[in-house]
């Protein structure tokens, strides 16, 4: 008890102070003893476990005497009951066994488990004496109950015997203040956001109070003092922070019910921070006076996000400007009310230096939900500014469900320059229609967006350009505001059946795929008289002119000519794919004609020099081989004659 202040018979006054982070935990109950051993008939009973001790008054515990709390804050303190002791094991029973006779006594029962201790008065607990609280804030304190212990096991030998019963979990009361004796008077204060699992959160017991706000009404008798009390209303407290002055406080904002609703029975000139207690409109409840000298630091200005935004990311850089050299903080805003309260906490900060005013603070985002934040600035002398709202950042990392195409429902024939593709998709998503040149149902190669629209209310109808006189294949996807895109869905084939204005050219050379060793190749064929024949590269060999495909050669036929020959350069040591088209005098270009692949094969590097020649020689030409053989025989005969002649000389 009384981790902060334990008052026994003394007169204590706490002024302009903050007590935070104190804990009071009851002791653990002792374990029950093991039952006695064998008696004439049975084992002894296991002892009961002891009860856990009570945790009381973690910040202040008043045993007797008097305690006065003025212009102070008690926040973030906790009292917890101790764990009960385990029950003892039952004693061993009587046992006799022989070849002709056996006898057993009863095993002892296990002892009962101890009860958990109680948690009482997370902030303050009184047993006797007097407690006076004026112009103070008691918030975010808590109590928790001690755990129950298990019963002991029965004795291990003998018959019968039972396990002991488990104890009971402790109780909680008075997360803020627990009155268990003595007298308590409260004036112009705030008791809010305290917690107790099984009892009254803010005040447990009887109290005389005036001009005080209880978020949760007291459990006992509330005797009115001077000034009107407020119960059941959230005072909208900000998190414990540096709001100016030597100690941290819980700020209220302009909309708080505590503003100008307090009294000043002690005629205090200042609040806990040392700023004027009366701002001209009346005294506020609690330790913090709103507008007392103002929150002198100018709030920051957030430029990014400028409005509600949707992203697919794990973090976001919040940017803006603030007073030079101030400390900029980004707070979570769990209830999206634009103030720092409850469990809101700092999630990012930046200290500006060297006269800088621009800030950029990275904050982590919770996936697939709205992320809400506020921003403050603190110049280090005037206290932290009021928070400003950061527009909601919605994190969306889930792709929409794929589209459903209802028209065309199956492959069909049509005429015209466009076709309206109809279907359904995630409401308000962007539906994109992709070309599908190789008709494989996926987006690859030169496939590209050819039309798009919005699935208003989940329905889309998109006019899509189609190529005349041929089949048209497409896929459809849906993208959300965070650019998550669904998997493509195949659109049934749309065949445009209008007769072409000009027929495609006919390629006669090469007639089939060929392999050559050349820098260029003459592609030949026939086309409509006086047409313009073009040869295109077909880099992805898909039979369509798309992507980086370009004209590599052309010929304008004249004088009624229909035969054409176009020389095209070849990429060395590679397969070269081409397309041919014809265009009439009205600029109508035909569909492409595929040119059989031309493989250029000269790209090998020269081999190294051969080794020294051997005694023989071989070539492919049979005539040459004969002459070389004859020459070799004559040379051999000539050498033999020289050898004989020399021997004769010798």
Which of 451-455, 521-525, 626-630 is predicted with the least confidence, judged by mean pLDDT? 626-630
- pLDDT of 383 > 80? The answer is no
- pLDDT of 639 > 50? The answer is no
Residue 33, pLDDT score: 55
Residue 619, pLDDT score: 33
Query: Which residues partner with 494 through β-bridges?
Result: 412, 472
Mean pLDDT on 539-566: 92
Higher pLDDT, 362 or 97: 362
Mean pLDDT on 297-309: 93
Residue 328, pLDDT score: 95
SS3 433: strand
Residue 561, pLDDT score: 95
Please give the Cα distance from 45 to 493 (Å, whole number). Answer: 86
- pLDDT of 157 > 80? The answer is no
Query: Which among 165-179, 244-258, 523-537, 626-640 has the top mean pLDDT?
Result: 523-537
Q: What is the pLDDT of residues 417-459, one digit of tens each?
A: 999 999 999 999 999 999 998 899 999 888 899 999 999 999 9
Which of 142-146, 281-285, 364-368, 639-643 is predicted with the least confidence, judged by mean pLDDT? 639-643
Residue/partner pairs of 501-504 with CB below 8 Å, 24 or more apart:
501/584, 501/586, 501/588, 501/590, 502/528, 502/531, 502/582, 502/583, 502/584, 502/588, 502/589, 502/590, 503/528, 503/582, 503/590, 504/580, 504/581, 504/582, 504/590, 504/591, 504/592, 504/593
84: confidence class by pLDDT, cuts 50, 70, 90: low
Please state whether 191 falls in left (phi above 0), alpha (psi between -120 and 50) or beta: beta
Please give the Cα distance from 245 to 382 (Å, whole number). Answer: 8
Which residue ranges make up each domain of the chain? 5-231, 301-395, 404-496, 506-600
- pLDDT of 38 > 70? The answer is no
Higher pLDDT, 647 or 446: 446
Residue 513, pLDDT score: 97
Q: What is the pLDDT of residues 327-378, one digit of tens each?
A: 999 999 998 988 877 778 899 999 999 999 999 999 999 999 999 999 999 8
Please give the Cα distance from 61 to 223 (Å, whole number). Answer: 23
Residue 608, pLDDT score: 42
Class of domain 404-496: mainly beta
| Same topology between domain 404-496 and domain 506-600 | yes
Please give the Cα distance from 545 to 280 (Å, whole number). Answer: 80
Residue 87, pLDDT score: 59
Which of 94-108, 298-312, 484-498, 501-515 is predicted with the least confidence, judged by mean pLDDT? 94-108
Residue 277, pLDDT score: 82
Higher pLDDT, 236 or 146: 236
Mean pLDDT on 487-505: 92
Residue 621, pLDDT score: 38
Residue 113, pLDDT score: 63
Those residues with Cβ within 8 angstroms of residue 630's Cβ, 6 or more apart along the chain or in another chain: none
Residue 329, pLDDT score: 94
Higher pLDDT, 30 or 493: 493
Residue 375, pLDDT score: 95
29: confidence class by pLDDT, cuts 50, 70, 90: low
Higher pLDDT, 33 or 67: 67
Distance in Å from the first CA to the final CA of the chain: 136
- pLDDT of 612 > 80? The answer is no
Query: CA-CA distances (angstroms) from residue 139 to 56, 213, 337, 474?
Result: 16, 11, 19, 63
SS3 367: coil
Higher pLDDT, 334 or 649: 334
CA angle 609, 610, 611 (to 5 degrees): 120
Residue 44, pLDDT score: 52
SS3 640: helix
How distant is the alpha carbon of residue 193 from its chain centre?
Answer: 29
Which of 157-166, 258-267, 516-525 is predicted with the least confidence, judged by mean pLDDT? 157-166
Those residues with Cβ within 8 angstroms of residue 578's Cβ, 6 or more apart along the chain or in another chain: 523, 535, 536, 537, 538, 552, 568, 595, 598
57: confidence class by pLDDT, cuts 50, 70, 90: confident
Residue 50, pLDDT score: 62
Query: Is residue 578 exposed (0-12), middle (13-18) or buried (19+ Cβ within 10 Å)?
Result: buried
Residue 522, pLDDT score: 97
217: confidence class by pLDDT, cuts 50, 70, 90: very high
296: confidence class by pLDDT, cuts 50, 70, 90: low
Residue 261, pLDDT score: 92
Residue 635, pLDDT score: 43
- pLDDT of 96 > 70? The answer is no
474: its two tokens: 């497409």
94: confidence class by pLDDT, cuts 50, 70, 90: low
Mean pLDDT on 256-274: 89
207: confidence class by pLDDT, cuts 50, 70, 90: very high
Which of 123-127, 155-159, 380-384, 561-565 is predicted with the least confidence, judged by mean pLDDT? 155-159
The reported pTM is 0.46
Mean pLDDT on 552-580: 96
Residue 59, pLDDT score: 87
- pLDDT of 313 > 80? The answer is yes
CATH 3.40.50.2300 for domain 301-395 = no
Q: What is the pLDDT of residues 181-195, one digit of tens each?
A: 999 999 999 999 998
Q: Are 230 and 260 in contact (CB under 8 A)?
A: no
Which one of 3.30.300.130, 3.40.50.11720, 3.40.630.10, 2.60.40.10 gives the CATH number of domain 506-600? Answer: 2.60.40.10
- Mean pLDDT score of the chain, rounded to an integer? 83
Query: Which among 21-30, 159-168, 256-265, 484-493 has the top mean pLDDT?
Result: 484-493
What percent helix, strand, coil does the chain show, rounded to 5? 5, 40, 55
Query: Is residue 610 exposed (0-12), middle (13-18) or buried (19+ Cβ within 10 Å)?
Result: exposed
257: its two tokens: 């019910």
Mean pLDDT on 6-35: 82
SS3 473: strand
387: confidence class by pLDDT, cuts 50, 70, 90: confident
Mean pLDDT on 33-52: 56
Residue 538, pLDDT score: 93
């Amino acid at each position: 008890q009384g981790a902060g202040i334990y008052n026994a018979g003394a007169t204590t006054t706490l002024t302009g102070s903050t007590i935070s982070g104190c804990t009071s935990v009851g002791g653990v109950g002792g374990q029950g003893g093991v039952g006695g051993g064998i008696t004439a008939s049975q084992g002894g009973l296991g002892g009961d476990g002891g009860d856990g001790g009570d945790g009381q008054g973690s910040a202040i515990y008043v045993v007797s005497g008097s305690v006065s709390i003025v212009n102070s804050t008690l926040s973030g303190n906790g009292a917890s009951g101790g764990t009960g002791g385990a029950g003892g094991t039952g004693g061993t029973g009587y046992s006799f066994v022989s070849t002709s006779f056996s006898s057993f006594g009863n095993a002892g029962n296990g002892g009962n488990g101890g009860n958990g201790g109680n948690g009482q008065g997370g902030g303050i607990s009184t047993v006797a004496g007097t407690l006076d609280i004026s112009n103070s804030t008691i918030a975010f304190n808590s109590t928790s109950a001690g755990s129950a212990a298990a019963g002991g096991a029965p004795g291990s030998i003998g018959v019968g015997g039972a396990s002991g019963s488990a104890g009971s979990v402790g109780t909680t009361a008075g997360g803020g203040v627990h009155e268990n004796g003595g007298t308590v008077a409260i004036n112009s204060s705030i008791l809010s956001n305290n917690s107790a699992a099984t009892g009254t959160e803010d005040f447990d017991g009887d109290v005389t109070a005036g001009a005080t706000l209880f978020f949760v009404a007291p459990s006992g008798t509330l005797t009115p003092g001077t000034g009107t009390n407020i119960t059941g209303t959230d005072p909208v407290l900000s998190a414990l922070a540096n709001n100016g002055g030597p100690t941290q406080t819980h700020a209220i904002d302009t909309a708080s019910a505590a503003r100008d609703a307090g009294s000043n029975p002690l005629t205090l000139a200042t609040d806990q921070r040392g700023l004027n207690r009366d701002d001209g409109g009346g005294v506020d409840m609690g330790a913090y006076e709103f507008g007392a000298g103002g929150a002198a630091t100018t709030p920051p200005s957030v430029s990014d996000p400028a409005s509600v935004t949707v992203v697919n990311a794990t973090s976001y850089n919040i940017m803006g400007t603030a007073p030079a050299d101030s400390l900029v903080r980004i707070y979570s805003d769990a209830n999206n009310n634009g103030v720092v309260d409850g469990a809101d906490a700092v999630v990012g900060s930046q200290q500006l230096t060297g006269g800088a005013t621009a800030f950029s603070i990275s904050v982590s985002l919770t996936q697939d939900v709205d992320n809400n934040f506020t921003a403050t600035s603190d110049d280090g002398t005037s206290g932290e500014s009021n928070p400003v709202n950061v527009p909601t950042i919605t994190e969306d990392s889930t792709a929409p469900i794929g589209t459903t195409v209802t028209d065309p429902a199956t492959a069909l024939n049509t005429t015209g320059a466009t076709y309206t593709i109809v279907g359904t998709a995630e409401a308000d998503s962007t539906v994109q229609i992709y070309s599908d040149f190789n008709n494989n149902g996926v987006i690859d190669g030169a496939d590209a967006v050819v039309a798009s629209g919005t699935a208003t209310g989940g329905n889309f109808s998109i006019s899509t350009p189609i190529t005349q006189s041929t089949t048209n294949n497409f896929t459809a996807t849906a993208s959300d505001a965070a650019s998550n895109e669904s998997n493509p869905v195949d659109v049934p084939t749309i065949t445009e059946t209008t007769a072409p204005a000009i027929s495609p050219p006919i390629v006669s050379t090469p007639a089939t795929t060929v392999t050559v060793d050349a820098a260029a190749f003459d592609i030949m064929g026939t086309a409509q008289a006086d047409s313009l024949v073009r040869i295109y590269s077909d880099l992805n060999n898909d039979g369509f002119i798309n992507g980086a495909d370009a004209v590599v050669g052309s010929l304008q036929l004249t004088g009624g000519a229909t035969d054409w020959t176009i020389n095209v350069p070849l990429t060395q040591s590679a397969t070269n794919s081409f397309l041919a088209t014809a265009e009439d005098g009205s600029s109508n270009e035909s569909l492409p004609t595929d040119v059989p692949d031309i493989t250029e094969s000269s790209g090998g590097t020269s081999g190294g020099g051969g080794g020294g020649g051997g005694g023989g020689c071989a070539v492919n030409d049979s005539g040459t081989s004969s002459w070389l053989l004859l020459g070799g025989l004559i040379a051999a005969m000539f050498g033999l004659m020289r050898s004989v002649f020399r021997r004769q000389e010798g």
